[in-house]
Chain A
Amino acid sequence: MSTLLTHIAVSDGKIKRASLEVLSRMTQLAEANGHSSEAVIIDANASDHVDEVQKYGASKIYTIEDAIFKNHQNTPLLKALSKVMDEADPFVFGFGSTESTKDILGALAANTDAAVLSDVSEFELTDNGIEVTRPVMAAKILSDNKATGDNILVSVRSGSYDLNESPTEAEVVDIDFSFDESELKATLREIIGASGDKIDLTEAETIVAAGRGAKDDEGQELIEELASVLNAALGASRALTEAGIMDPSLQIGQTGKVVSPQLYIAVGISGAIQHVAGMANSKVIVAINKDPDAPIFDIADYGIVGDLYKVLPPFIEELKKIKS
């Protein structure tokens, strides 16, 4: 019996859904293959999250609690992750593919001599490793990869697996950890534009995304109203984040966030492959664009050819009626 370990990422006091998706998958694989599904929570208040993690089938939960984990910093996180790998000796160690994961995954692999595959959309166990599918070439192509070894790291794109509750009574193991701030060479000075209680794009059920077509004040007001009616997260194409019109954290695409909501409404977005790479896995895609030949219409389930300033006001009114 081997250990399948999942890293539970906590940001702003909340567990990232992507981590629980990975844990759900790990628990399923553990049951099917006679392995043990375990989890590790590394946070300033790690023990607060044990109950939530137990719901997804972890039979053992490691906690590493230290005030240093209040904000993401790669040095202490790497130290904690290396320590838990020593302790748990996982055959597979899974992560939700967040920006914090991307910051440390390569370093952790180098540190522990583990094989690593990042940003996968599917993974399976083999006798001596894992087989995965990853989107490549701006997500136009899927590549099959395999990794072999005693310790394998894998990060999984958010939305790749459904949450699946299978409650257990987990053994909780608190790992002794201390970190002296004088060990920090890199220093975190401040965090600008912290998202606070905004809806996380990678976890949103509904996303309203704006492109070049919606760059002026009137366009911005309309998309904000549309998002508010639908209780949606706001997203943007690179054109708008680069122009400084929308916050860079809202960028969707190969460079920005990869999202998979139930409903994606693309307003004034032409649909360059780099943008599509970040949103093509949405369940239902609606595109509003005045150019009938915009590539976004090739992937949209519902395309509205028209001027967004004329289409959005009645669209918002209709949605309000449906919602009420």
Chain B
Amino acid sequence: MKFYVCIKQVPDVDAPIQIKEGNLIQDTDRMVLNAYDASAVEEALVLTEEHGGEVEVVLVGPEKAKETIRKALAMGADKATHITTDNDVDYDSAVYAKVLATFFEDKEYDVISCGKQSQDTDAGLAGSMLAQHLDLPYATNAVGLSMEEDKLVVKRQGDAGQEIIGLPQPCLVTCSNDMNEPRIPSLKGIMQSKRKPMETIALSDMNLDEAALSAKTKVTGYMEKPEREPGQKFEGEPDELAQKVATLLDEEENVI
């Protein structure tokens, strides 16, 4: 079984962020493997450990994203392809999906997976775009995966409940981070990752036309979200606190 996992390097949303002249500035510049993609890598590893096969990760991003590819290899992925871009590209989901679709054109695979969204923008679009370009059956927001002969069985968290969907291979699935706890690379894994094959392709060599690489959507600026002011904090006898807050909710806020 050949598993491709599309991964992305993103800023760590837990690190402090500032906005200077409309730009996002992270003092730490801490970049990480997108948490949802990490779950996709983990699930691919679990399935191939159980059923045999190979996991290859693909990343579209600048040179410094190599460290994120190394992380996925250290977790246990077998090989990697790095499609390199300039440092400050303003690609939207549609451009990434086009680039990946072009990459996959001449590849053979059973399953392509990725995170359901990237944790910095939360857009959640590239996965289903890629499936459409490649004309693959797909499911999004998977919270569980299993294999059944030639089918990938997806448990998807939908609006009405958990949908159990059978996908004939080849197929595409986007993963929630609720399906597993991604493994922490072991020292051995980290050592091995340095010897694993990593192919580098310059995006400029992929013969994508201008239209495919020009984003139809643009970020025009950033703002701090107006912060909620902390309200009143009560400490003391539980009976009194309960009564006080219940009365405030009823009389001051009118929400009971």
Binding site for B on A (CB under 8 A): 9, 11-12, 16, 71-72, 74-75, 78, 98-100, 102-107, 109-111, 115-119, 131, 134-149, 185-195, 206, 230, 238, 241-242, 248-249, 251, 254-255, 262-263, 273, 280, 283-286, 292, 297-307, 310-315, 317-319, 322-323
Contact = CB atoms under 8 A, between A and B. Distances in A.
A142 B160 contact: no
A303 B94 contact: no
B210 interface: no
Interface string B117-144: 0011111111111111100011111010
B13 interface: yes
Contacts of B97: 106, 110
A126 to B, nearest CB: 11
Given A12-B160, A99-B159, A251 B178 contact: yes
A286 B219 contact: no
B24 to A, nearest CB: 7
A303 B233 contact: yes
Nearest 3 A/B pairs, CB to CB:
A106-B125, A115-B216, A318-B246
Given A110-B97, A302-B232, A304-B233, 12 more contacts: A11-B159, A74-B139, A74-B140, A100-B159, A103-B156, A105-B125, A105-B128, A137-B11, A141-B222, A143-B121, A188-B164, A314-B239
B182 interface: no
Contacts of B129: 106-107, 109-110
B26 to A, nearest CB: 9
Contacts, number: 271
Interface of B: 11, 13-14, 17, 19, 24, 93-94, 97, 116, 119-133, 137-141, 143, 153, 155-168, 171, 176-178, 216-225, 227-228, 230-235, 238-239, 241-243, 245-250, 253, 255-256
B107 to A, nearest CB: 18
Contact of A107 (B19, B132, B233): B132
A258 B239 CA distance: 32
A109 B129 CA distance: 7
Contact of A142 (B127, B133, B222): B222
Contact of B256 (A16, A230, A311, A314): A230
Contacts of A119: 122-124
A193 B219 contact: no
Contacts of A302: 231-232, 234, 245, 248-249
A318 B238 CA distance: 12
B160 A311 contact: no
A131 B176 CA distance: 29
Contacts of A102: 116, 124, 140-141
B167 A304 contact: no
Contacts of B249: 263, 284, 286, 302
A106 B132 contact: yes
B178 A248 contact: yes
Contacts of B217: 115-117, 145-147
Contacts of A255: 176-178
Contact of A149 (B11, B14, B216, B243): B216
